[in-house]
């Protein structure tokens, strides 16, 4: 079987958000992935608990989903924070996958998306730090 090789940085698409050519960091130090979002809050819609958020730097777009979970994320410096997790589609190297991502405001960070080990392992990717993004 041919291994699927990614570089440290990749250009990905998020079809559910209508976004293409998003820069992502492939982060083997992170267990889960993370997606830059703002206006993250729970609401009630038709009696059901839903999560509302604006993906990336698009405050005019509000995405609403009932398919979300809460969880604890521990950073590399040991600080635990509660985050929301969503499942969405991601296109990596022209192939569509399902990915679970935590939501947080990453506006102060260099990369709007981190892709962690859970996704890499589940989809049998390996990382070559010498490889350039496509």
- Write down the domain spans for the chain: 4-127
Question: For the domain bounded by 4-127, which CATH number is listed?
Answer: 2.40.70.10
Q: Which stretch of DSSP H or E encloses residue 97?
A: strand 95-104
Q: Mean pLDDT over all residues of the chain? A: 92
Render pLDDT for 69-100 as a digit per residue (tens, 0 to 9): 999 988 778 889 999 999 999 999 999 999 99
Question: CA 48, CA 45: separation in Å to the nearest integer?
Answer: 5
Render pLDDT for 16-45 as a digit per residue (tens, 0 to 9): 998 899 999 999 989 999 999 999 999 999
Question: CA 127, CA 24: separation in Å to the nearest integer?
Answer: 13
Looking at the chain, the whole-number percentage of residues with pLDDT higher than 70 is 96
pLDDT of residue 134: 53
pLDDT of residue 34: 96
């Amino acid at each position: 079987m041919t291994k699927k090789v990614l570089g440290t940085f990749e250009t990905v698409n998020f079809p559910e958000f209508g976004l293409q050519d998003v820069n992502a960091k492939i982060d083997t130090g992170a267990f889960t992935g993370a997606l830059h979002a703002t206006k993250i809050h729970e609401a009630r819609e038709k009696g059901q608990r839903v999560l509302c958020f604006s993906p990336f730097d698009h405050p005019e777009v509000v995405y609403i989903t009932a398919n979300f979970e809460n969880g604890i994320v521990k950073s590399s410096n040991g600080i635990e924070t509660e985050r929301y997790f969503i499942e969405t589609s991601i296109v990596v190297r022209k192939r569509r996958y399902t990915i679970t991502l935590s939501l947080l405001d990453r506006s102060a960070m260099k990369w709007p998306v981190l892709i962690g080990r859970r996704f890499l392992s589940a989809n049998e990717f390996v990382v070559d730090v010498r490889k350039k993004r496509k």
